[in-house]
Structure 1
Amino acid sequence: MSQYTVFITSPLEAEYVDSIRSVSPGLEVLFESDLLPSPRYVADHKGGPLERTEEQERRWRSCLERADILWDFPPLGADGRSPMLGAPKVKWVQTTSTGVGPLVKLHGLQNSDIIVTTARGVHAGPLAEFVMLGLLAHFRGLRHLEAEQKQHRWTRYCGDEIAGKHLVIVGAGDLARGTAVLAQAFGMRVEAIARHPDKSRDHLHVFDAIFPVERLHERLGQADAVVIAVPHTPDTDTMIDRSALGAMKPGGVFVNIARGSVVDESALIDNLRSGYIGFAALDVAAKEPLPPDSPLWDMPNVLISPHSASTVQAENARITEIFCHNLREYLAGRPDRMKNILNKSLLY
């Protein structure tokens, strides 16, 4: 009899399944690829459409019933019910994302004893690169250069730079850390807005200053660029509202690598239309996929990423490394030494 059974509930490459199996000879790892949707790209954790036969559905339910540990939350049913109701033995879920607080609520687990660990740390680097892509595209005039090149026009001009610019990051966690490291390398002044500015942080040194949320509007007014990097919780829902956007310095850059629900999208669109916000780089939207009739698609001062800025070739390798570390600690009876344990009361 195996001591623990792991069920992999989202697409994963075979080499990483083998890495998980190698953690312990007493570990049973259930990986039934025909029960999972086909990945559409590398590190696709949702996959394409899937319809299971009755026999496959029986096997799926059997795996859930047997599992002690899950790699990823199983998708919610078409009726919105959580499949976790059919997984009575599960004591721990390793997720493939960082901002999973709302998903924990959807599964009704915020008051449960189930451990939830996240992929925190995996996405900070790629998302920070997307931030810099947006900042460089605006300040270095990428679209101007593209338009000139299309016209075969060689006309010298004077551009701008990001060195010396003032960056305010709303959030002071891992995504903020990754962004601050790159921004400082480019010579920017970096401030963070935090719920608890006096909290001890290993990466405190990457910020020039940290301010409380109460000073959000004041600091936005000093920023040449603003990056949203907070988790979506009841406290952060539409925290970047019309008044917050209106507090920004005219012509500034706005980047959202958090969640679309953190921002009043209608107000953002209005400010982009008027030019009050000079440029926006958006990896997320209030409704995803972004509706085809959204004006954001056709705005010349908007860069849209389909919630893919964090997805890179090495993503699953890095998540697997976290999971295998956590497995070793869990199997050794040291759950307190596991990485990235979600605080279910705070939802991050």
Structure 2
Amino acid sequence: MVKFHFYICSISPCLRPTLEKCLKEVEFPFETEIVYHHRLQTPEDQIREELKKADVVIAEPHIAHLLSNPQESCPKLRWFQSTFAGVDHFMNMKPCPYAPDLVPLPFALTRGAALFGPGMAEYAISMMIAVQRNFFTLKEAQMKKESPYSIRECATTFPLLSQLTVGILGASGSIGQDTARRLYVLGCNVWGLCRRHRKEGEPLVTPQVESPLNARLPPADQCFQKLVALEDDDEKQSLLRSFLSGVDVVINILPSTPDTNYLLGGRIDKDGKPIPSPLEACKPHCVFINIGRGSIISEAAMVDVLKRKCIRHAVLDVFEKEPLPATSPLITELSTDMITFTPHTSGLPQHDNYMEHLLSKNLQLFKEGMIFEQSEEAKAKGEKWAPKMIYQMDFKEGY
């Protein structure tokens, strides 16, 4: 009897009952063993030992460094289901599976996409409203035990959502689409920026695994008033600046890749001189919200843009260096009316079965692959499962 060792290494204990339920629902035909470890409470050596035995791992990407040299660290591993959407940690594996080396992983890696979009969208929208209506300034007055009427004027002039044009950087992914759909029903004009042009006959935005949390929302391809691609390197900067100059709010959701790192500030030209931040093209009242990756703009560039009042306010949930040190210039050199911080919490799931929908679909595909691989025909031909799963990592693309 074939036996599969499932290893869960996560801060979410609900993943074990979720996996047990999914295994039952998909009628997984093989004997299984499930081991759960709380990632923050388990010694690294113990995690390493479980990885050596694992056929399937369901975990946060924070343990990716333990998978380096996979022939030794995880010789049996067939599939790693990440509970997070980002894959930055996997870029540091040895040998590196990312360009320019492109050393293929011996296991399938699937991202936890479509899990965090609703929460991150609500974060961005709530922060957008809070800044526009000066809620943070009013709260500061209350903390100083001042009457709100002493600063009433700052709360009497604000745009309605239907008067705002919101630009989403990373519009075609699951989080970008979830954000666009919610902004659209609130009446905003939504512009999207993505990294490549759509081919003839290709959907306007990449099809996603639909979340039950989106059941009452319109399809994403109906929600963008404008969609811009940054595929042409020669025109990238001008296209980006033109896009930014037309919006009132910028929401960054782009992943961290060589193409996106310091896209909004912090790059150096061939002569060693700083390239001006594209945020200089924004309207002075523009609000920048970053829920993607801190590497989109350097700390120095962010400080410079805010000090020169190129934009009105920045809301940062992610940072160039995490956790954000108290000595960061973002904290020491900027006032609270310029910037708002949160500790990378915009997308934390708030329901126990957040992985069930995606895990069930990928487990079904994994089951079908294993049934094929264990068939007499496949064994006779020496054929192995060729994984084709939902949100499977494409290292050439960087997500």
Matched with 1:324 is 360
1:31-54, Cα deviation, whole Å (9 max, x unpaired): 143xx44xxxxxxxxx36x546xx
Check conservation: 1:74, 1:83, Cα contact below 8 A. no
Check conservation: 1:76, 1:83, Cα contact below 8 A. no
Counterparts of 1:147 and 1:60, CA distance in 2? 45
1:191-231, Cα deviation, whole Å (9 max, x unpaired): 11112132522432221111122311111111111111111
Matched with 2:287 is 253
Matched with 1:43 is none
Coordinate RMSD, CA, aligned: 2.5
TM normalised by structure 2 equals 0.75
Q: SS at 2:355's partner residue?
A: helix
Matched with 2:10 is 10
Counterparts of 1:145 and 1:174, CA distance in 2? 34
Where do 5+ consecutive residues of structure 2 fail to align? 99-103, 208-219, 231-235, 266-275, 373-385
Rg: which structure is higher? 2
Counterparts of 1:127 and 1:117, CA distance in 2? 20
Matched with 1:151 is 146
Instruction: Between 152-161 and 186-195, report the one with greater CA deviation.
Output: 152-161
Matched with 2:133 is 140
Counterparts of 2:49 and 2:132, CA distance in 1? 55
Matched with 1:305 is 342
Counterparts of 1:144 and 1:60, CA distance in 2? 46
CA displacement at 1:163 relative to structure 2 = 2.2
| Counterpart check, 1:86 vs 2:103 | no
TM normalised by structure 1 equals 0.85
Check conservation: 1:166, 1:222, Cα contact below 8 A. yes
1:171-194, Cα deviation, whole Å (9 max, x unpaired): 121121111112222221111111
1:284 to 311, 318, 327: 318
1:317 and 1:21, CA in 2 relative to 1: closer, same or farther beyond 3 A? same
CA displacement at 1:337 relative to structure 2 = 6.2
1:278 and 1:29, CA in 2 relative to 1: closer, same or farther beyond 3 A? farther
State the one-letter code of the partner of 1:160.
F
1:225 and 1:159, CA in 2 relative to 1: closer, same or farther beyond 3 A? same
Matched with 2:189 is 189
1:234 to 237, 249, 258: 258
1:131 to 124, 135, 151: 124
| Counterpart check, 1:222 vs 2:246 | yes
1:113 and 1:345, CA in 2 relative to 1: closer, same or farther beyond 3 A? farther
State the one-letter code of the partner of 1:210.
L
Counterparts of 1:306 and 1:323, CA distance in 2? 27
Counterparts of 1:82 and 1:258, CA distance in 2? 26
Check conservation: 1:10, 1:74, Cα contact below 8 A. no
1:104 to 85, 90, 107: 90
Matched with 2:273 is none
Check conservation: 1:75, 1:83, Cα contact below 8 A. no
Matched with 2:162 is 163
Counterparts of 1:133 and 1:60, CA distance in 2? 38
Where do 5+ consecutive residues of structure 1 fail to align? 38-46
Check conservation: 2:91, 2:97, Cα contact below 8 A. yes
State the one-letter code of the partner of 1:209.
K
1:257-293, Cα deviation, whole Å (9 max, x unpaired): 1110111221111222233221111110000000111
CA displacement at 1:343 relative to structure 2 = 1.3
Q: SS at 1:163's partner residue?
A: helix
Matched with 1:40 is none
Alignment size in residue pairs: 327
State the one-letter code of the partner of 2:68.
S
Instruction: Between 258-267 and 285-294, report the one with greater CA deviation.
Output: 258-267
Check conservation: 1:251, 1:278, Cα contact below 8 A. yes
State the one-letter code of the partner of 2:170.
G
Instruction: Between 103-112 and 159-168, report the one with greater CA deviation.
Output: 103-112
State the one-letter code of the partner of 2:221.
L
Check conservation: 2:67, 2:73, Cα contact below 8 A. no
1:103 and 1:310, CA in 2 relative to 1: closer, same or farther beyond 3 A? same
State the one-letter code of the partner of 2:347.
S
Counterparts of 2:20 and 2:295, CA distance in 1? 37
1:110-152, Cα deviation, whole Å (9 max, x unpaired): 4224211111111111111111122101111212322454412
